[in-house]
Amino acid sequence: MQARNSINIFLLFLIITGVYSVVSAENDKPEDSPFATFAGQYLKHYWYDSAALYYDSAAYEAMKTGNETMTAYYLLKKGRALRHGCLYDSSFKYLQQSGKLAFQLANDTLRALSDIELGWIYMRKELLDSSEYHYRHALSIYESLNDSIGIGLALLDLSVLYQTDTDYETSLKYALESNRIFKKFDHKGYYAKSLLNLGNIYDDIGEYDTAFTCYEMCYTLSIELNNLRLAGKAVYNKGFMYLFWKRYDEAESSFINAIDFCLKIKDYNDLSLLYRNLSIVQKKLGKWDEALENAGKSLDFARKVKNKEYEFYAMINLGVYYKNRQNYNLTESFYLQAAEMARKYGFMSGKKKIYGNLSHLYKASGNIESAYDYLGKYIAVNDSIVNQEKINAREKYKAEYELLQYKDVVRLKEMEKKKIRVERNLSYWIGASLVFLLVVFLFYFRMRARKNRIIAMQKIQKLEDEKKLMAAQAVLVGQEKEREHIARELHDGIGVLLSTASIHFSSVENKADKANGEMLKKANKLLKEAHKEVRQISHNMMPGVLSKFGLKEAIEDLFEEVEDTGEVNVHLDITCGKERLPQNMEIMIYRVVQEMINNTLKHAKATEISFSVSQTDEFIRMEFKDNGIGFDEDKLPHGKNLGLSGIRSRVDYLGGTVEMKSQKGKGTRYFITMLLHRKSV
């Protein structure tokens, strides 16, 4: 399965490459050069060398006209065509040129596409750290552009990268995220590709049933979208799973279906690989003649597309076939041709394999001398591979160094831009700073003097306010003392005289004749009414309940009188402390409540009054509410404020606050908070 997984990863590279061709066509400027049109036609037929040549002409044409954006774009397309043709070093050069030009132009889309292509090349060269850097840089650009397709495809690339590095947990995480994005935004084509990638990962981690389900879903969706290339990849992977499960008939059928798809889209590159795998399955089924025929087709298609690597393995496959049939002459012929190709094209692992096969062949045919000769070559190539791995390690360090240099170049360019902006604005900042300092220096003393004047005025105003408050307090205290004095005089003086006069009238009334008796009776009645009125006036000016029993009983008595009228319902909730409040405070609070009741009875036309009092160690809070007609606070005339000034002045005297809310038709509400401990009280 490991060999098949490596092939799957490579095939997925090709799929993602096709995806980014679509993305670039959607996001970049259309190809308006005839050279680019010809190049596109060659790409469709997999003639990558010719496509690269025409893209080079298109880039040169764009450069002559000064169109740097199209120059960068055609360089990118040329690098991509060279990469398709497996010319990675040349591709790398042109992709770097495109990326640098895109950076200078601040073209984020082209920068991201260049990073994707560079990441692919680094991954193909097994320089995974460099590949990851470019993929993540592309991802950050797509995230800044809010490009859902780009984000999903960059995540898909990262998934393939971590799969190559055998970090399957991370690979699966990115694969699932890309799959979720494509499904959310209903990108069915990309969703199908992500399903193929998920199937490969689940296959690698041994969850074969889940992998097979992903391939099935990918195949079904690809047929629906008429994406024959992707459908062929899915059925091809299904064939490998059948081969792993030793279900050779189904594997053969799957490979044949995949071949049909490739023939329809003329994907001859994949046909060589498919015919080789089909021949392997048919050998296991004992279909030797068909296996030989398909092994030959694999070789023919490899030569048709000039893929030397596929041609090499096709010849080894034919050699193995003839060796099993004990046709050592033909086996030797194919093996020697393969050995020459491995030597000519530098297939180091291929050399090792073919030299081992030749050693076994000569041993089986009895040519011991040649068997030992190729065994020595096998050992020598194995040593060379070990040395090459050391060289690759050095190359990896070199690539990492180049990556650091690339990062430094990007950072230096950013710093250079910042430096230019700073230098450009420095003179303005200096001038502005000097002007600002001058203004500050000139106005400093003036502002200081103004501040001193304001402080002095505030002090004067504060003294005046304190003076007014003291005057108001004195008036209020004087009023209450005067009321108390008048109430006492009325009650103890005039009230007593009226009572005495009424008694005398009553005694005389019984002794007088009928005519005079009637007049005395009326006069006595008037004296009693006058005595009652004097008592009521005395009570209003200084209620006896307040002085004898305290604030709570006085307020309850006050509201009982209101309720006795039969016109207003009263709801009381009074919670006061056990200790009496200072006399002045009780009087002031009583007057505030009295004033609120008077306002309601005179102006509000209310049918209900709610009043609550709560007391803590520091505050007394009162809430008074009626359901009267209310009024517009903003239109309340000055001087005719329904007794509000009297309420506010008394609350201010007690160091409290008054909040009143009223609307027409919605009644009036008072919220009053007063301090319990105040020196002036």
Kindly list the domain boundaries of the chain, sorted by start residue.
307-408, 545-675
Question: Per-residue confidence at 538, pLDDT binned at 50, 70, 90?
Answer: low
The whole-number pLDDT of residue 220 equals: 92
d(CA 124, CA 20): 17
Instruction: Report whether pLDDT(19) > 50.
Output: no
| % of the chain at pLDDT higher than 90 | 14
Q: Using DSSP bridges, classify how beta strands 569-575 and 608-615 pair: parallel, antiparallel or unpaired.
A: parallel
Instruction: Report whether pLDDT(478) > 90.
Output: no
Instruction: Report whether pLDDT(253) > 90.
Output: yes
d(CA 2, CA 309): 18
Instruction: Report whether pLDDT(493) > 80.
Output: no
Question: Phi and psi of 639, rounded to 5°?
Answer: 85, -15
Where do we find the tokens 């981690």?
205
CATH number of 307-408: 1.25.40.10
- Please return the burial class of 184, using the count of CB atoms within 10 Å of its CB with bins 0-12, 13-18 and 19+: exposed
Question: What are the structure tokens assigned to 487, written together?
Answer: 């109430």
Instruction: Report whether pLDDT(311) > 60.
Output: yes
CATH number of 545-675: 3.30.565.10
d(CA 340, CA 334): 10
Question: Per-residue confidence at 234, pLDDT binned at 50, 70, 90?
Answer: very high
For the chain, what is the mean pLDDT? 79
Question: What are the structure tokens assigned to 54, written together?
Answer: 């025409």
d(CA 485, CA 491): 10
Question: Per-residue confidence at 229, pLDDT binned at 50, 70, 90?
Answer: confident
Torsion, CA 309, CA 315, CA 321, CA 325, rounded to 10: -160
Beta-bridge mates of residue 658: 672
CB 653 within 8 A of CB 634: no
The whole-number pLDDT of residue 2 equals: 43
Beta-bridge mates of residue 620: 615, 674
Higher pLDDT, 446 or 394: 446
Q: How many CA atoms lie within 13 A of 623 on its CB side?
A: 9
The whole-number pLDDT of residue 672 equals: 92
Instruction: Report whether pLDDT(115) > 70.
Output: yes
Instruction: Report whether pLDDT(525) > 90.
Output: no
Average pLDDT over every residue of 364-390 = 80
Quickly count: other Cβ atoms within 10 Å of residue 516's Cβ: 12
The whole-number pLDDT of residue 281 equals: 92
d(CA 326, CA 263): 33
CB 670 within 8 A of CB 623: yes
**Lowest pLDDT segment from 356-365, 447-456, 646-655:** 447-456
